[in-house]
Structure 1
Amino acid sequence: MAAFSAADVKKLREMTGAGMMDAKKALEEAGGDIEAAQDALRAKGLAAVQKKSSRTAAEGLVGVAVEGTKGVAVEVNSETDFVAKNDQFQDFVRKTTQVALTMDKDDVEALKAADYPDGGTVEEKLTNNVATIGENQQVRRMQTVSVSQGTVTSYVHNAAADGLGKIGVLVALESDLSADVLEPFGKQLAMHIASMFPQALNADGLDADVIERERKIAQEKAAESGKPEQVQEKMVEGAIKKYAKENALLSQMFVMDNKTSVEDTVAKFAKDNGGNVKLTDYVRFQLGEGIEKEESDFAAEVAAAVGG
């Protein structure tokens, strides 16, 4: 009996762009493990690299807020997109994001226990929303960035309302230049981040497990080339360097010209404006990022989280 279903084959095809028979064979060889099957297809050159964002199933909103030199992003999930368009839900996300801006650290449990502007706590308001809206909701995560001087710029891609949408970005620029000079540039960087999905600020920040996974895929590709071992080693190292360059923010080609790295673009901006500018941190929250489940499973996860 197959350890996978027709739905799994369909999902793998959507994730990789591979043909039906290739996807089915990869799942058979991987014992139904979709991630392992995806790696196998990539190693054979039968799959394109897909961003995690293309395989998410959650609904809700990401809220972003900035005050002075500090900014925060908060993700609040719901079961359906219909609720995300609800004024009551949007008001909750907006006010919860403002509460998060006052927190000393990124702690969702502390955020839920914090005072809500309309009375009670954030969690009590959330519970009330579940009862009145009739759908489970969950405060999933928050992340703060700040600078000692300079600016934190926010951007929401395809905003559903002011400061609310499905992709929220914050950019931290440490600088001696004024905020009015930095803001337009910060907005361009934020748009780049929304579009290019960097995995870390620089190569050193990339997830070691992800790098190891990429290395194994590169090794399989190199082995299939039949070239001498020394050449294979160079092929693998070249593939890892290419991956790091394309996925670390500072080394990515700036989307506005696709010729200059983000790091060099920041340096040029600083020189042109006669000041010091350093891109020190960023946040990119995409709704449902990392949740790779069927919608029905996600609903059960939210229900369990709210019930627990």
Structure 2
Amino acid sequence: MQHGLGGCQLDIATALFAATRRLRAAGSPSARLDAEVLLAHVLSCERLHLYRVPEQKLSAGQQAQYDALLQRRAAGEPVAYLTGRREFYGREFIVTPAVLIPRPETELLVELAAQRWRERFDHALYIADIGTGSGAIAVSLACLLPRVRVLATDVSPAALAVALENAVRHAVAQRVAFYQGDLLAALPAEWAGRLGLICANLPYVPETERGQLPPDVLHYEPHLALFGGPDGLALYRRLLAQAPRFLVPGGRLLLEIAPGQPEILARELPPGWRLCGVHLDLAGRERVVELEY
């Protein structure tokens, strides 16, 4: 079983059973789900379809493609990179190894940003998404807020190419402007004093925790999007210094962080900043810091 799906023609049910055993033996924590997602990808169908026609036979080509994907997954490669897709906030996003895979926890940042916009800034202002990566935050906000204009920055040209592809895919490319460069320094001077909200899911994993990351994250996802210095907050400190120039009075900054980091940020906030709250994710962990300037 460790050497592939075999030479006989398999049906969907048998292929899933064999693939799940194979991935479980390789240490996958979500073996059945992985097996389903990869087979649905090979067959270009929804996962539910696999259970509607469990007796459907796989062609030799489909078995070979499935086997190759299973081999890569068993070696630790993330499913999202194998399929090139990841669902986020109810929409499917293109992902490549050039971008961090969007996580469900980040949906809280999108939800809060949309809520604050409707409460405080539902007029001719702008939102910035700093370190946009795949564009999941920027594109989701543009979809949720039809009147908003989003500015998205990233230091990686390869990441921006993926983000633009996602903006086109979801028909919001005309309302999302992309800028390549370092944090807010990537924005032209014309945007100074015009942002109501700045969102950021920047690298916040402390370098000291490098060895604690799951192997599929450490070995496959871009380190540029993961590590934020000794305590994980190096980029956020720089962003706090840059943001006042671009925010309107009373503008908000929403930052995705790790548990324990809000206390550090609160102790060293520069003058003019006010901590509005720390928001917990569905697991009850500190996830988003909200600041006002």
Q: Which band: TM-score by shorter chain?
A: under 0.3
Could you state the TM-score of these two structures normalised by the residue count of structure 1? 0.24
Could you state the TM-score of these two structures normalised by the residue count of structure 2? 0.25
- Structure number with the bigger relative contact order (C-alpha 8 A, sep ≥ 6) is 1
More helix per residue: 1 or 2? 1
